Structure 1
Amino acid sequence: MSGQQPHRGSASQVFQPLAGDDPATIAGYRLAAKLGAGGMGKVYLSYTPGGRPVAIKVIRPEFGEDPEFRRRFAQEVQSAQRVQGLFTAPVIDADTNGAQPWLATAYVPGPSLADAVVAHGALPVEAVLLLIAGMAEALHVIHGAGIVHRDLKPSNVLLAADGPRVIDFGIAYAADATSLTGSGVTIGTPSFMAPEQAAGRRVTPATDIFALGQVAAYAATGSPAFGEGTSHGVLYRIVHEEPDLTGVPERLMDLVSRCLAKDAEARPSVAEVIALCQTANAETVLRRPEDWLPSPVAADITVRAAAPAPAQTPPPPTAAPAVAPPVAYSPTTPAAPSTPPPGFGPPVTPPPGQTPHAPHTPYPVQHQAAPTQPAQAAQPYQPVPPSQAHASGPYPGAYPAQAAQTHPGHLSPQGPAATPPPAKRRGGRVAAIAIAVALVVGVAGGGTAYFLQKDDAKSSQGSESPKGGSTPKGDSTPKQAGSSPSEEEGGTDTGTDPAASAKPDPEPIEYPGINLTSGYNLTLGDDGLKPQDGDGGGDQLVYYSTGGHLDAAGTDGTLVRLDPGQVGSLAVCRAETRFTDSIYVNKLSKGRQVCITTGSGHVALLTYQGQSPEDSPSTYMTVDVTVWRNAAG
């Protein structure tokens, strides 16, 4: 359960100043800015005493006055404290008994999926697959805690740098029982409801799977699967008509169509959703690179990470507060209220005639770290039934991404292999630098003529023919400063127009479906591009499974990994300057592209298509390569 739904745009739009009707503190938390507002209440930015940003959702007074809402809200908060998934925003504090209920979650710096699509358009297929797989993992732990989200929609999914975060789970259930539902307050978003939910029938975890399919279609196309318009029209289409999947990429069609089945029993389980994502990705394990989002969306994360500091800092305490012993975390038992630390909120004075309510201490409990588990072999994804869900800590089910990875080129749970890329040959460049230094020293010492004559004599001896003649490989006569090329060659300057001598771009040569085996290389200057054994110099691209990286072999070879969604071309590769000479394969996803420029001037575009299966007798990567020879300019 969470309440963070920040607005899109600049930092001034994301972090709105507090208005006259906004409180300055909530139960000891000083409010720094307003993040947004919705049908359930307002969301504010605050900080824990240790300085961590949190999002605090203050429930609307109308809901707080409803006894049934309060009962369900307290129940959902207790359940939400058991949700400790990687793709959810954890609930860290709440007050369900105060005059105005509220809850606090970890602040997630990132735009909502709705804001990202409106501002930048639909996401690439690879990003959608990682999005849906992460949301499916979030639903696994949410359902394991006995919660059905009921309101899974793009505005309740935040896009963080390390994956999505599902928020606001359980609030729809608490609000569904209030008298406000009959007076114009709609619980749930019509465009993302399931047929049984729209018809008022029983809601189950399969309801969230239907919404997950709608979110996938929206992320891939930018439009809801059942269109827009009045709520009655949208709900009718959800119950009686088929979704409009025009524009959904072919790789996502099976996943989306199965999730949008009218019959709840026909929809896939959470484990099957993740398997469908893996199949569509043509990989045995989904690997999430650090830049899984398109660059414009990632830039929005940076804006939201610049959270403003509180308007004023708490005054220093007048006396040292008594230190109470730590309280063990109990997710099913609310923390005992106590007096807030000095400086984190004014003392609460109850109105005359009202029973005093103990003030709330922000961040009062300490979460116990989950026990470290030894690495296990990869095993099928098995959801945990709600009846077997742990009351605290992570659930016992193992995801494929959490199992130990031993396949070459894949990330292990501890990160990439520590084997560094092999050192590249730089012999030719070092020799050239040494000769240049020797020449400078000779000139400074006044012995230029002698040095050059001696060097020329050695060159003549080395190239002397058997008949006693000699053919020098190059003119050793020093050129005069300020002389033009035409004067040095005995000619005259003809004033040739550079534009007239410009050569057209070479035609691209395509080599699809190359299986590049570990330790082998591709020599980009060869007419028939095929893997060769060894890692010699020259215009070569080498794949090393030990360490799992690509290496631009040879002098002055460079690589550039393009951003997700960026389409490579000769012009793009020429313009890119984010050079490196090695790229780890675990930073690539299917369809990701790499620009290659060799020291001799060849340009190539590599499109990563996948890794060899785990049961393959050899380790290789499959790539498509397009080469423009002598095109580096």
Structure 2
Amino acid sequence: MSGAPRGGSGGTVFQPLEEGDPRSVAGYRLSARLGAGGMGAVYLSYTPGGRPVAIKVIRPDFAEDAEFRRRFAQEVRAAQRVQGLYTAPVIDADTDARRPWLATAYVPGPSLADAVRSHGPLPVDTVLLLVAGIAEALQVIHGAGIVHRDLKPANVLLAADGPRVIDFGIARAADATSLTGSGVTIGTPSFMAPEQAAGREVTAATDIFALGQVAAYAATGSPAFGEGTSHGVLYRIVHEEPDLTGLPDRLRELVTRCLDKDPAARPSVTDLLALCQGASDQTALRRPDEWLPGAVAADITTRTAAPAPAAATTPPPPATPPTVVPSSAPAAPAAPVAAPHAPHPPTAPATPSAPPQGFGPPVPPPPQQHVHAPTPAPMAAPMAVHAPTPPPVPAPAPAPARKSSSRTVLFAVVAAVLAFAVAGGVTAFFLLQDDDATKRTQARDTSAQGGDTGTGDGAAAGNETPKAADSAKPSGPATPPKAPEPVTYKAIDLPSGYEVSLADDPVKPKDNSTGYDLSYSLGLSSNDGGRLVLLRNGQDPSLETCTTETRFATYISQDMLTKGSRLCLQSGAGDVALITIQGFPPESDPSDYITLDLTVWRGALDVEQAS
């Protein structure tokens, strides 16, 4: 569980919640998305006392597997016993929930993977302190009867006072479940031990091998057994020696002993700490206040518990007006008016230093007197003005003339609506709603005149206004006025470094082509304004889905793809494709490629819309 997103320090550290993300988990209000991995998604939340926590929610397909649930519960119980200086403790969990979850202390620091990717290899003294901290963490983890199984740079966080090891033991929960036969990889190939890669017994010595790989990566910036396809890396781990080019001499004995093929020959945790001590220039390993390079330490400030500024796409407050309850007592609605709006995140912050919209720990509603203090009888004035003449409902709109806060404006609008309802304006309000609905229906009918007979209300609601329609109407992401015929291409073997273009017929891989739409290299990439979307389990793999989804990405790594995964591709030229992953090459195949099926709808989007 990480305090940084998968995208690394170059991306947004605190990502807004996506459409399919929960808003709360067992009473924890989720403030931001921290990242996602093979096991599930990680979110930022807070304890009732305001301490930040990272909550991992397990993927639905794992949650539906009975054996996974049993092992997950067992591993969580064991993990809760781990209380070390260099681990992120598990503080809460529910393994019986519909979507199992666990919460750990939030660590405000980049992962080792992010730090090396952004700033390069670490100095020798930093690596020694890093290895010593991880070794102490393993000592506590192994003492609780747990083997980490997935120790890698992404599971080591760099905090101001030392490293933190996370996600210990969780990989075992997925091992040998019914999902492992369908493309799910347990552990990360580049940091596996030989016995793990060969399917033999996994012991504490397996984590020592992984620690040697982590140390080599931290010091050189590259995995000890190289990169490439999973089967190629695993072959080298089992049969070849590591490439330690560029490894400083002071680290060579430590790393080479950890990377011994024989588990029995690897050093123990106690031996590792002695090796770190021997390689240090000091008489004793002492962690200074600034143990990280300056550039890496600076990244910690961007991962503090207060989230980054809210994105411009933060959704507005709900458009549905509050329920109007007729009452003869005009002052009665005062309390319900303020209460529904106080907790809503989109309400503007009271001061520049307050947490941005949609983020931060739960904040109690502001005292009622702050809302009503400017006018001792706030409801009376609007009623006196609007009750005799219902038609002038828009009158409150010009109210915010100078610097009135959004909360005051919102209160004024709600008060006007309530006053209008008491004066008998409810009927007119619903007539206006019906009129709006009629206009929307007419807009849909207009867009359907192009011959689109296959879109339903869900698709029509997002359609872009046809060029022949009123140009004053706003446009938005939309499906086309007419659905083109799909063309399917089966079992395309796309080699690493090759690309395909949806404009080609038939679609086939090309080497170093220009204007490509899709390429493969340890993942799938789009180009020329193209956008990828990884569909969730259960989503309809249709043109409508592919044209209305907005969870865009330009690159999706291979570790997120399994056999049967489906992706949508919107090309910059307006073509749309459904990509179905059929598999990866067997270990006996020396080639690096991905096999996929393509269903292409050419000209499905306006070029303007696709750009």
TM-score (ref. length: structure 2): 0.51
Can you give the 5+ residue segments of structure 2 that lack an aligned partner in the other structure?
308-354, 368-611
The residue number in structure 1 matching 2:257 is 258
Quote the residue 2:458 is aligned against: none
Match for residue 273 of structure 2? 274
**Alpha carbons of structure 1 residues 73 and 25: separation in structure 2 relative to 1, 3 Å:** same
Q: How many angstroms does 1:177 deviate by?
A: 2.4
Q: How does 1:51-90 map to 2 (within 5 A)?
A: 51-90=50-89
CA offset at residue 311 of structure 1? 3.8
Query: Which residue of 1 is the match for residue 150 of structure 2?
Result: 151
Letter of the 1:234 counterpart? V
Counterparts of 1:158-557 in structure 2 under 5 Å? 158-308=157-307, 309=355, 311=359, 313=362
Instruction: Tell me what 1:40 maps to.
Output: 39
- Looking at structure 1, the residues matched to 219 and 193 of structure 2 have their Cα atoms a distance apart, in angstroms, of 19
> What amino acid does structure 2 have at the position aligned with 1:170?
G
Alpha-carbon distance change, 307 to 11 in structure 1, aligned in 2, over 3 angstroms: farther
Q: Distance in 2 between matches of 1:307 and 1:287?
A: 30
| Alpha-carbon distance between aligned partners in 1 of 2:2 and 2:124, rounded to the nearest angstrom | 28
* Contact 2:149–2:169 under 8 Å retained in 1: yes
In 2 relative to 1, CA 317–63 (structure 1 residues): closer, same or farther, beyond 3 Å?
A: farther
Is the CA contact 2:52–2:305 (under 8 Å) kept in the aligned structure 1? no
Secondary structure (helix, strand or coil) at the match of 1:188 reads coil
Output the amino acid matched with 2:69: R
The whole-number CA distance in structure 1 between the counterparts of 2:82 and 2:11 is: 32
Letter in 1 for 2:173: A
Q: Distance in 1 between matches of 2:272 and 2:29?
A: 42
The alignment partner of 1:274 has SS state of helix
Q: Distance in 2 between matches of 1:10 and 1:206?
A: 31
For residue 506 of structure 1, what is the aligned residue in structure 2? none
Distance 1:153 1:274 in 2: 19
**1:9 deviation in Å?**
6.0
Separation of aligned partners in 1, 2:32 and 2:235: 40
Q: CA deviation at 1:12?
A: 7.3
Check whether the contact 1:159–1:165 (CA below 8 A) recurs between aligned residues: yes
Contact 1:11 1:306 in 2 (8 A): no
SS in 1 for 2:45: strand
Residue identity opposite 1:273 in structure 2: L
* 1:316 shift after superposition: 6.5
Classify 1:4/1:67 alpha carbon distance in 2 versus 1 (closer, same or farther; 3 Å). Answer: farther
1:122 aligns with 2:121: yes
Hey, what's the Cα distance between the residues in 2 that align with 1:299 and 1:43?
A: 23
**Which residue number in structure 1 is paired with residue 388 of structure 2?**
none
**How far is 1:284 from its partner?**
3.6
Secondary structure of residue in 2 paired with 1:179: coil
Q: Report the Cα offset of residue 283 of structure 1.
A: 3.1
CA distance in 2 between partners of 1:83 and 1:6 (Å)? 24
Relative distance call for 1:246 and 1:10 in structure 2 (3 A) is closer
Indicate how the Cα distance of structure 1 residues 159 and 240 shifts in structure 2: closer, same or farther if over 3 A, else same: same
Contact 1:4 1:57 in 2 (8 A): no
Determine the C-alpha separation between the residues in 2 that align with 1:38 and 1:191.
16
CA distance, structure 2, for counterparts of residue 96 and residue 175 of structure 1: 14
Question: Residue 54 of structure 1: SS of its match in structure 2?
Answer: strand
**Secondary structure of 1:224 counterpart:** coil
Q: Which residue of 2 aligns with 1:104?
A: 103
Alpha-carbon distance between aligned partners in 2 of 1:206 and 1:10, rounded to the nearest angstrom: 31
Change (3 A) 1:90 1:257: same
Count of matched residue pairs: 317
TM-superposition CA deviations, 1:354-407 (whole Å, max 9, x none)? xxxxxxxxxxxxxxxxxxxxxxxxxxxxxxxxxxxxxxxxxxxxxxxxxxxxxx
Q: CA deviation at 1:3?
A: 5.1
CA distance in 2 between partners of 1:122 and 1:314 (Å): 41
CA contact (8 A) 1:140 1:270 kept: yes
Q: Is the 8 A contact 2:132 2:273 kept in 1?
A: yes
Separation in structure 2 between the aligned mates of residue 218 and residue 112 of structure 1, nearest angstrom? 13
Shift in Å at residue 178 of structure 1?
1.3
CA deviation map 1:336-356 (0-9, x unaligned): xxxxxxxxxxxxxxxxxxxxx
3-state secondary structure, aligned to 2:16: coil
**2:102 aligned counterpart, secondary structure:** strand
Classify the secondary structure of the residue corresponding to 1:245: coil
2:91 maps to amino acid:
I
Contact persistence 1:3–1:56 (CA under 8 A): no
Q: Return the offset for 1:285.
A: 1.8
* Residue pair 2:2, 2:107 contacting (<8 A) in 1 also: no
- 2:579 corresponding residue in structure 1: none
Aligned residues of 2:89 and 2:104 also touching (Cα < 8 A) = yes
Q: Quick one: structure 1 residues 12 and 210, their matched pair in 2 at CA, closer, same or farther if it must change by over 3 Å?
A: closer
CA drift at 1:4: 4.5
* Shift in CA distance, 89/226, structure 1 to aligned 2, threshold 3 Å: same
Deviations 1:407-448 (A, max 9, x none): xxxxxxxxxxxxxxxxxxxxxxxxxxxxxxxxxxxxxxxxxx
Provide Cα deviations, 1:100-128, integer angstroms capped at 9, x if missing partner.
00000000000000000000000000000
The CA distance in 2 between the partners of 1:184 and 1:5, in whole Å, is 26
Q: Label 1:306 to 1:54 Cα distance change in 2 as closer, same or farther (>3 A).
A: closer
CA offsets 1:283-310 (integer angstroms, 9 cap, x no match)? 3420000110001100100110152246
Match of 2:552 in 1: none
Structure 2 counterpart of 1:278, which letter? Q
Whether the 8 Å CA contact 1:6–1:112 is kept in 2: the answer is no
Q: Which amino acid aligns with 1:81?
A: Q
Alignment CA distance shift 1:317-1:144 (3 Å): farther
Contact 1:7-1:13 within 8 A present in 2 as well = no
Distance in 1 separating the partners of 2:259 and 2:124:
18
Identity of aligned residues (%): 78
The alpha-carbon deviation at position 19 of structure 1 amounts to 1.2
Contact 1:162 1:290 in 2 (8 A): yes
* Partner in structure 2 of residue 94 of structure 1: 93
C-alpha distance in 2 between matches for 1:5 and 1:209: 25
> Who is 1:141 aligned against?
140
- Preserved CA contact (<8 Å) 1:111 1:301: yes
| CA distance in 2 between partners of 1:28 and 1:93 (Å) | 12
Of structures 1 and 2, the one scoring higher in RCO (CA 8 A, sep 6+) is: 1
Cα distance change, pair 67–251 in 1 and its aligned pair in 2 (3 A): same
Which amino acid is the alignment partner of residue 72 of structure 1? R
Paired amino acid for 1:60: R
CA contact (8 A) 1:195 1:262 kept: yes
Is this contact kept in 2: 1:113–1:154, CA < 8 A?
A: yes
Deviation for aligned residue 1:20: 1.0
